[in-house]
Amino acid sequence: MQKIDRSRTWSLFVLLLSFTGCITIEENYTFKKDGSGTLEYVVDMSEIGDMMEAFEDASDDGASAGEGDMGAMDMNDEVVALKAIPGIKKVKVNDKKKYVQRLSFSFADLKALNQALNVLLSDSTGEQHTFFTWEGNTLIRTNNDHARQMGKGMGAEEEGTDSMETTRFLESMKYKYSFTFAKPVGTTALGEGMVEERPSSRQVKMDTDWSKISRDPKALDLRIELTQ
């Protein structure tokens, strides 16, 4: 998402979102017994596809209709950076579905995963953040300021925006996690307002929205304990 041209796009994008629906970010993980696993990172803007096309047609950048449909989410630089990280393999981008981009890779361990997340989820500080750690059988996730800054960059704090309209806009933007483990999931500790679902004994899903992320820097933090 670093490629988004906020100065040209997001002030109008906010208006489009308020009328058409949401943007959804997903992080879908699998963890094996040895600590390796996979991540699928999804940016889904399918609900606003038609309005995005209308905006592109009306833009003055010279692009013809139908060109660069996913250009606002160009992740080529990120793919190159990910492939250079030791322990990161099978980096792929699937953008066959319009306005939905799926980037996936396998990781050898948490060190490799954390380096990869610093590529995907960098914030304005430019500092390296340790997103995941293991504490015994408990997986701990903490976050930098990426998600909150992303909300701001989308115009969530535009001057003159009605507070109720801003709240509805933020609530329409979803952030989702999915974790699948080799062991059953025990207790969890989640940020305030995050909703949990357990499709199976070894899988847990969570989701929240940007209205909560904007209020609480720890809204996306979590702890997942695995049972023996």
pLDDT at res. 64? 44
Above 90 in pLDDT, residue 16? no
Above 70 in pLDDT, residue 57? no
Domain count, the chain: 1
Q: For 196-221, what is each residue's pLDDT tens digit? A: 999 999 999 999 999 999 889 899 99
Pairwise CA distance, residues 38 & 180, whole Å: 10
Using pLDDT thresholds of 50, 70 and 90, give the confidence band for residue 47. Answer: confident
Average pLDDT over residues 150-169: 65
Tokens of 18: 């308020």
pLDDT at res. 22? 73
Above 50 in pLDDT, residue 68? no
Residue 220 in any domain: the answer is: yes
Q: What is the DSSP string of the chain?
A: -TT--HHHHHHHHHHHHHHH---EEEEEEEE-TTS-EEEEEEEE-GGGHHHHHHHHHH-SS-PPTTTTTTGGG--HHHHHHHHTSTTEEEEEEE--STTEEEEEEEESSHHHHHHHHHHHT--TT------EEEETTEEEE---SHHHHHHHHTTTT-TT--HHHHHHHHHH-EEEEEEE-SS-EEEEEE-TT-EEEEEETTEEEEEEEHHHHHH-TTTT-EEEEEP-
pTM of the model: 0.82
Residue 13 in any domain: the answer is: yes
Residue bearing tokens 């040209």: 8
- In Å, how far from its chain's centre is CA 96? 19
Above 60 in pLDDT, residue 83? yes
Residue 1 in any domain: the answer is: no
Domain span at 186? 6-226
pLDDT greater at residue 148 or residue 187 = 187
pLDDT at res. 191? 93
Average pLDDT over residues 38-60: 75
Most confident of 23-27, 58-62, 128-132: 128-132
pLDDT greater at residue 15 or residue 145 = 145
Residue 170 in any domain: the answer is: yes
Rounded mean pLDDT of the chain?
83
Q: For 129-150, what is each residue's pLDDT tens digit? A: 999 999 999 999 999 999 988 8
pLDDT at res. 7? 41
Residue 125 in any domain: the answer is: yes
Residue 84 in any domain: the answer is: yes
pLDDT at res. 110? 98
